[in-house]
Amino acid sequence: MDSMAAKIKAFCNGWKVCGMTKVYFRGLEELYGLDFERSTLDGMEIARDKAVNLRKILCIGEVWLDLCTHEFNHSGLDEVFANCIIDKIKSEMNGDVYV
């Protein structure tokens, strides 16, 4: 498992209630590629106000994997943000997101 895959596993929070099992992903800023302190997105410098706006969006969002249905879901994020994060999780974990 490479370092990004290890980071993604470290961002997981398991949740089990009434037979449902979900894995929530914390650290959406880093999963999205935002380094707020340096004002970079995927290593490229961005304007400070853009970094602030991205942080506001990402801090209210949630992304999780339902282990019963094997489907990713999200709330508080629009489809573009959610799909970017979900795609990164899927590609980096090579199908090994079932913790």
**53-64 per-position pLDDT tens digit:** 999 999 999 999
The answer to whether residue 32 is domain-embedded is yes
The answer to whether the CB of 55 falls within 8 A of the CB of 36 is: yes
What domain range is 7 assigned to? 3-11+27-61+73-93
Count of domains forming the chain: 1
Rounded CA gap, 59 and 92, in Å? 22
**pLDDT, tens only, 68-80:** 888 899 999 999 9
Report the length, in residues, of the chain: 99
The answer to whether residue 98 is domain-embedded is no
**pLDDT, tens only, 27-47:** 899 889 999 999 999 999 999
- Take residue 60 and report the two structure tokens written for it: 């209210």
The answer to whether residue 18 is domain-embedded is no
The answer to whether residue 33 is domain-embedded is yes
pLDDT band at 11 (very low <50, low <70, confident <90, very high): low
The answer to whether the CB of 66 falls within 8 A of the CB of 17 is: no
More confident residue, 82 or 13: 82
